[in-house]
Amino acid sequence: MIKQTLFVPLAGCLLALACAQAIAAPSPYSKFIVFGDSLNDAGTFADPGGPAGATQRFTNRTGPIYLDGSGEIRAANSTQLLGGKLGFSPDQTAASTSAVRANQGLPDGNNWAVGGYRTDQILDSITTTSDTGERSRAGYLPTNNFRADPNALYYLSGGGNDFLQGRVTSLDGASAAADRLVSSVQTLQQAGARYIMVWLLPDIGLTPAINGTPLQAFTSQLSAQFNTELVSQLQSVNAEIIPLNIPLLLKETFANPAQFGLATDQNLTATCFSGDSCTENARYGINSATPDPTKLIYNDSVHPTEAGQRLIADYAYSLLAAPWELTLLPEMAQGTLRAHQDELRNQWLADWENWQGVGQWRAIVAGGGQHQDFDTQSSGASADGNGYNLNIGGSYRLNEAWRVGVAAGFYHQKLEAGQDDSEYKLNTYMGTAFAQYQQNRWWADAAMTAGHLDYESLKRKFDLGVNERGEKGDTSGYVLGISGRLGYDIAQQASSPWHLSPFVSADFAKVKVDGYSENGADATALTFDDQSRNSRRLGVGIQGKYQVTPQTQVFGEFAHEREYNDDTQDLTINLNSLPNNRFTLAGYTPQTNLNRLNLGVSHKLTQDLALRASYNIRKDDDFTQQGINLGVSLDF
């Protein structure tokens, strides 16, 4: 953010550590492309105090000595940490215009940020030329045929040097600087960019450079004006603009430093680690008896320590990762509906060619458990969950060919998702009406289900610095389902001990999850729009049963289903602290093909009372659902 000093592509071992978090994590973006000033500079210039060939980043060295000449490189900055979390290599997150890297024969990275750049220079690095003073090359758009990759994530910060170089001295000047930064965003959008993450400017009045001076109050006022204009103008850009409310995040950090592992008895806004153009912290500064940059926010007069860098990277990642988890909420409900339908079908299969007498009722009671397992997708988080259920109902035989019935089900589920095992709980209350036909070798069934969804506890958890933060909320919704099957029994006669029947099936399901806001208005709290997930499936399968003894039978069913609503689920979000800056990101993608298998056994305890047990599994490339159920049926 400040003068043109130096910064670096990380040595392999350090960035390997930063990138380790990206293994098996979602990676929805084709590239990670950064613009800005020294707050984002990944290593444009040589590091005179570092090992040979090292480049400079505007943060502390890795330690434990921290001094120039110690052989230590600079710690990773927030863009490198975030890029690693998103699955990008150190070369990909390295500086794009580094003379040092070019002289070493290393490839240019995708980080166009340069220490000292003002907002006008940031725009130049996009539209015309990136000139560091040591190396000049064509800017991002000229290098890429004036087209921005629509599947890339773009990341921008800027404005601090407009202040620190004396270009902003009035409210109008602050607004003009914000407008210039928005021009960079608009230029990228007009060239095709869709996903753009933008920093709000930190309160420069609270940096060690200004804090405590006569300029503090006015500089804070100018910073606030810059952000007011920035937030307002970003709303008009026709792209998914993801704002980072850095000022609010830092405010929370200063108010509760223990939550972030920082020193609780030090002045975090007036002291720094290095003593470079600021007051060195007496307890944790570089020349103290106990140097520790992880206890402080500022490395120098304006730049974060490694603790601040990690905090910013974690914050940005938490916003990007939210839809990967939250778009699983409708899938939880879809899984509940399918488990309910499987339980009914197991009952029907056990009853095949063995209905109660005409004019009689058959009551059923069944309970069981289910497990869901979601694999990581490009824009979907891994998750697994467990639940239990209770179903009750009954059927009435109208005549030789027809039976009708009703059933009610209660299902409880708990899903843990993402790297920090966010916890999402769902209670589902469902009712079903069904009708069955069975005449000669033909059979058919149809069912309609409606249910209420109660997401009683939704706790999104994520790393934020050295600790974990959770955001809580709750919501509700509904589920509707219609299903039907038609089959033909190829057994030789009704009295045969075995039955085998191919069938075709059709299913429709709709899940609606109401939008909700997480509690509070801190920097990480979000509001989510309504979610709607429809499922349309056609299937083919075969079912069969075998009468082992007069009292005992085994049964099973296998089916392959084709999903016709398999588009990636998008989710619209906004920060609670910035309600008018909404953005839409991709989440879970339903699979096109799914196989399911049901196996069971039924045993008659008396002529009218039967005991049944079953196992169900549904599986596709990224999803597995299993369930077991025990039930009894009674004729009367």
Looking at the annotation, which residues are catalytic? 38, 300, 303
Question: Phi and psi dihedrals of 231, rounded to 5?
Answer: -60, -40
End-to-end, the C-alpha distance of the chain in Å comes to: 80
Torsion (CA) 255, 261, 266, 271 in degrees, nearest 10: -90
Q: Exposed, middle or buried by CB within 10 Å (0-12, 13-18, 19+), for 626?
A: middle
Q: What is the 3-state secondary structure (H, E, C) of 87-142?
A: CCCCCCCCECCCHHHHHCCCCCCCECCCCCCCHHHHHHHHHCEEECCCCEEECHHH
Measured CA distances, 130 to 9, 41, 48, 189, 428 (Å): 18, 13, 22, 19, 57
> 550-554: long-range contacts at Cβ-Cβ below 8 A with a sequence spacing of 24 or more?
550/604, 551/603, 551/604, 552/601, 552/602, 552/603, 552/604, 553/350, 553/601, 553/602, 553/603, 554/599, 554/600, 554/601, 554/602
* 635 to 152, 550, 610, 627: CA distances (angstroms): 62, 17, 9, 26
Q: Say how far apart CA 200 and CA 223 lie, in whole Å.
A: 9
Structural element, H or E, at residue 49: none
400 Cα distance to chain centroid: 53
C-alpha–C-alpha distance, residues 227 and 225, integer Å: 5
Whether the CA torsion 307, 22, 567, 30 is positive or negative: it is: positive
Helix (H) or strand (E) holding 230: helix 216-234
Is the preceding omega at residue 150 within 30 degrees of 0, hence cis? no
Q: Is residue 576 classed as helix, strand or coil in its secondary structure? A: coil
- Give the orientation angle of helix 171-190 with respect to helix 216-234, to 10 degrees: 30
CA atoms of 316 and 305, how far apart (whole Å): 17
485 membership: H or E segment, kind and range: strand 467-488
Measure CA 348 to chain center: 39
Q: How many CB atoms lie within 10 A of CB 167?
A: 17
